[in-house]
Amino acid sequence: MDFELPGYDDPTRTEVRQWCADHPRPSGRQLAEAGLVAPHWPSPWGRDADAIQQLVIDEEMRRAGVRRPENMIGIGWAGPTLVHAGTQEQKDRYLLPLLAGEEIWCQLFSEPEAGSDLAALGTRAERDGDEWVVNGSKIWTSHALASQFGILIARTNPDAPKHQGISYFICPMDAPGIEIRPIREMTGVALFNEVFFTDVRLPADALVGEEHRGWALAKVTLGNERVSLSGGGALWGQGPDAFELLDLVRAHGGVVDAELRQRLAQLHIEAEILRLIRLRTVSAAVRGEAPGPEASIRKLLADEHGQIIMGLAKDLAGTAAMLTDVGPMGAEVSLWHYGYMFARALTIGGGTTQVQRNILAERVLGLPHDVDVEEGRTWAEARRGATSA
Ligand SMILES: Cc1cc2nc3c(=O)[nH]c(=O)nc-3n(C[C@H](O)[C@H](O)[C@H](O)COP(=O)(O)OP(=O)(O)OC[C@H]3O[C@@H](n4cnc5c(N)ncnc54)[C@H](O)[C@@H]3O)c2cc1C
């Protein structure tokens, strides 16, 4: 870590500390209006905060026990895309309730035949006078049932090469013609949904950015996804982390089994490596540098690490782990059991482990492209001079 956070008298620190003292239990709206939900966004939604100011604000809010509203897709992905390309009307209408957690958002990207190869999507949006008419289906839409709006990508020009005929929309989830079917997962929870569109009519001003230029915006959204998914905890920053598991083991007097001890030591090493990579990313941000390959490296390592933590937690619980209500060392339970079941998803969502490896192979190691994303050609096809777009 090659930076130091400013001390007690720093003006940002003092101001946020005072704000938290004046608002001991702030509502989402109060936090949003103070620019404290996403301080790095431009004013008036954020505070144009640089990396150091963000860290200082986070520290002061944590110290005061102030939590930000939950709206992961809204704040993490939809919002930054609207800040980047939305019209003034769209920003004025959507950003404040989104930041306040009053309107929840979901992401309508993946389709049964378009996941890693997202640009292969088949959902159509056709212009009809002042409206767009949407037909098709999406899958794996997290929180669709709880959402008021979705960011939707759909094909507006089927004759263009696949990356060039896609547009980006804001979709009200209660629009007539939308049917949402929950998918029950092995965790027991129905986080995901299928979403079907039958002649769904969206107004002209639902379009974000330019017509047919939605792929570039989807990359803005997915770029944010990669950074925000690489958070601290084991389950994309949400669940318990390796250090919590190690604390639990220590509190129970350690373990004697030699193999489990080796695995715990290995886990500690991995967690420390991830912590240092995270500090490297933060240091780069503080220097004003764009995110480098560390974000992809960290996502790749963190997702596999998350599965290792949860697997080890189950093994520490011994035969009792067969029961869903017993965690490692008999501790707080459903979280670890849920985590074990959910951890399978970590290496799929937000770009699969294999796709992350492709990115690293190409951008870090300089190996030839797996798929030529601009041309829609595989490497083998490109070598033969053929196109598959
Ligand atoms: C927890 C979770 C939440 C999600 N939430 C949402 C959401 O809210 N909205 C949304 O739109 N989607 C969401 N998704 C879907 C997610 O984006 C897709 O699952 C992901 O992009 C992979 O697509 P796929 O499932 O179609 O798998 P596929 O792309 O069909 O991949 C199948 C297998 O082939 C491998 N593969 C594919 N292409 C390559 C390649 N070029 N080289 C090497 N291997 C390859 C993959 O790694 C994988 O192992 C979520 C997924 C998860 C797990």
* Segment (H or E) for 88: helix 88-99
Cβ–ligand 1 contact at 185 (below 6 Å): no
* Catalytic residue list contains 225: yes
pLDDT for 45 beyond 60: yes
Ligand 1 centroid distance, CA of 118 (Å): 9
Give just the sign of the alpha carbon dihedral 230, 232, 237, 239: positive
Cβ–ligand 1 contact at 358 (below 6 Å): yes
Q: Which one, of 350, 352, 353, 327, lies nearest residue 338 by Cα?
A: 327
Measure the CA–CA gap between 304 and 297, rounded to whole angstroms: 11
CB contact at 8 A, 318 and 257: no
**Residue whose token pair is 């993490």:** 76
Predicted pLDDT at 169? 98
User: Which residue has the least CA distance to atom 35 on ligand 1?
Assistant: 354
Give just the sign of the alpha carbon dihedral 172, 82, 294, 268: negative
Give the list of residues 6+ apart from residue 311 with CB closer than 8 angstroms, or none. 340, 343
Q: Which one, of 204, 209, 152, lies nearest residue 178 by Cα?
A: 152
Cβ–ligand 1 contact at 361 (below 6 Å): no
Q: Strand pairing partners for 146?
A: none
pLDDT digits (tens, 9 = 90+) for 269-314: 999 998 888 878 777 777 777 766 777 788 889 999 999 999 999 9
Q: Strand pairing partners for 172?
A: 149
CA 39 from centroid of its chain's CA atoms? 18
pLDDT digits (tens, 9 = 90+) for 362-377: 888 889 876 655 555 5
Give the list of residues 6+ apart from residue 263 with CB closer than 8 angstroms, or none. 312, 315
Predicted pLDDT at 153? 98
Pocket test for ligand 1, best of 107, 113, 116 (most atoms within 8 A of CB): 116
User: Which residue has the least CA distance to atom 48 on ligand 1?
Assistant: 352
Q: What is the pTM of this model?
A: 0.90
Ligand 1 centroid distance, CA of 228 (Å): 17
The DSSP symbol for 166 reads E
Predicted pLDDT at 369? 78
pLDDT for 226 beyond 50: no
* Segment (H or E) for 244: helix 242-251
User: Which residue has the least CA distance to atom 4 on ligand 1?
Assistant: 349
